[in-house]
Structure 1
Amino acid sequence: MDMTPHILIIEDEPSMSMGLRDNLEFEGYRVETAMDGRQGWEKAQAGTFDLILLDIMLPQMSGYEVCKLIRGAGMEVPVIMLSAKGEEIDKVLGLELGADDYLTKPFGLRELLARVKAVLRRVQPVSSGASSDERVQIGRLSVEFSKFQAWEADQEIRMSHKEFEILQFLWQHRNEPVSRDQLLEGVWGYAEAPTTRTVDNFMLKLRQKIEQDSRDPRMILTVHGIGYKLVVA
């Protein structure tokens, strides 16, 4: 069985699509391309990909719409959004729709490859301080990190891939304060991360799923001047 990472590029600009494909294939990845949003969504459904590079400004269907459909279908494939838009609100929207990363054009090849490698590395199963198939109890949730699954009582709770990664990072550093920069570096995998506000947005979502009362958090605490701390007995 071929274990080479399989990447889908959804990009309507021919020179950009060809350049990305050539460079990624040179690095040893298997690559497919789609030239508009609708074709990209169809390929995403039909294929088994390890990563999707998704432009935002696409004909037929925007990258935002494609990302929303991917996550709405329960597909956990990592998504890196590509866009000439550089405003913080655009980055936040992409990440909140379920993208794992966001690159603003023009970007350097080395930066793209570093992001690709970081995302692919993060989605590989890693130890969470428990055996790979062990469930851990975090607040209201019972979590199995290796399967990216969480339950409250007997009901499975839908969480994004990024929410699992952040929660796993907090679990690995439980009862220790971690800074927003540590979270951005440890979860997004590089120092120049989107925005510390992104961390705060994800923490709000996690509190709503873990805490008995998200307005009065007892597990994911804000450590003023530093960041956050996951408190477990």
Structure 2
Amino acid sequence: MATRVLVVDDDPTVSNVVSAYLNRAGYDARVVADGPAAVELWPQWKPSVVILDVMLPGFSGLEVLRRMRAADNGAAVIMLSARGEEEDRVVGLEVGADDYVIKPFSPRELTLRVAAMLRREERLAGQDLTPTKLSAGPVVIDTGARIAYLNGAEVKLTHREFDLLVYLVSHAGKAYSKAELMQRVWGWDFGDSQTVTVHIRRLREKLEADPSDPKLVLTVPRKGYRFVGDVS
């Protein structure tokens, strides 16, 4: 059965072109044009990837994403936004989007991003699922339950924030560039590095006593980021 991709956009030119590219690539693409229709179809049809525009009739793509993440819907999400909607892109990543694409965009590149997302999910699904406990300083992670703790208290993380934290803690002490994190956590060889920047900032807000003076997730000049602490 072909992998399902839901396209949510009220511009028929965009949705028709994107769905045509996806269908030619072998995916089963469906289109809806407003927020309420997306909220209705998404949990029923269970797509693996959702391409979600920020600006929608009914209610916004951000509201659609909030509702689906609150319902613990784990589909990968690529948000579409106009070039001037910087704050919406940041909020989208904070709510739980995996990445965003700025309009106008290349339908071919968008299709490649979908493929990269799916390869990553397949790779994770094929890994050993034996529950593992990771710890570094005050942070403890139960990878089987996908729960992180800070000083014994559970930390609420989005799907991608959790993946990023696991990778950094698993390689504590080693610095990684934004491009390396994009490739190793998101599985992409392309993309906007702000995706990583926003997720690092969110981790600091949730883990650091003073996010402006981090002690756990450090910036390494001219290199990137590293997590401090010995893994056990």
Class of the TM-score when normalised by the shorter of the 2 chains: 0.7 to 0.9
Distance 1:151 1:49, change over 3 A: farther
CA distance in 2 between partners of 1:132 and 1:63 (Å): 36
CA distance in 2 between partners of 1:155 and 1:10 (Å): 37
In the TM superposition, what whole-angstrom CA distance separates every residue of 1:51-76 from its partner, at most 9, and x where no partner exists?
11111221111112111222232322
CA distance in 1 between partners of 2:84 and 2:119 (Å): 26
Matching residue of 2:26: 28
Letter in 2 for 1:90: D
Number of residue-to-residue matches in the alignment: 229
CA distance in 1 between partners of 2:17 and 2:193 (Å): 28
Q: Matched residue of 1:142: which SS?
A: strand
CA distance in 1 between partners of 2:54 and 2:9 (Å): 8
In the TM superposition, what whole-angstrom CA distance separates every residue of 1:23-61 from its partner, at most 9, and x where no partner exists?
212222222221211110111232322111111221111
Q: Which runs of 5+ in 1 are unaligned?
A: none
Letter in 2 for 1:166: L
Matching residue of 2:198: 201
Letter in 2 for 1:19: V
Query: Mean Cα displacement is larger for which, 42-51 or 133-142?
Result: 133-142
Letter in 2 for 1:28: G
How high is the TM-score relative to the length of structure 2?
0.82
> 1:13-92 residue pairs with structure 2 within 5 A?
13-92=11-90
Matching residue of 2:173: 175
Q: Which runs of 5+ in 2 are unaligned?
A: none
Compute the RMSD of aligned alpha carbons: 2.9
Matching residue of 2:112: 114
- Of 204, 220, 225, the residue aligned with 1:223 is 220
How high is the TM-score relative to the length of structure 1?
0.81
List structure 1 segments (4+ residues) > 6 angstroms apart after TM superposition.
none
Matching residue of 1:142: 140
Distance 1:180 1:21, change over 3 A: closer
CA distance in 1 between partners of 2:170 and 2:89 (Å): 27
Distance 1:172 1:41, change over 3 A: same
Matching residue of 1:165: 163
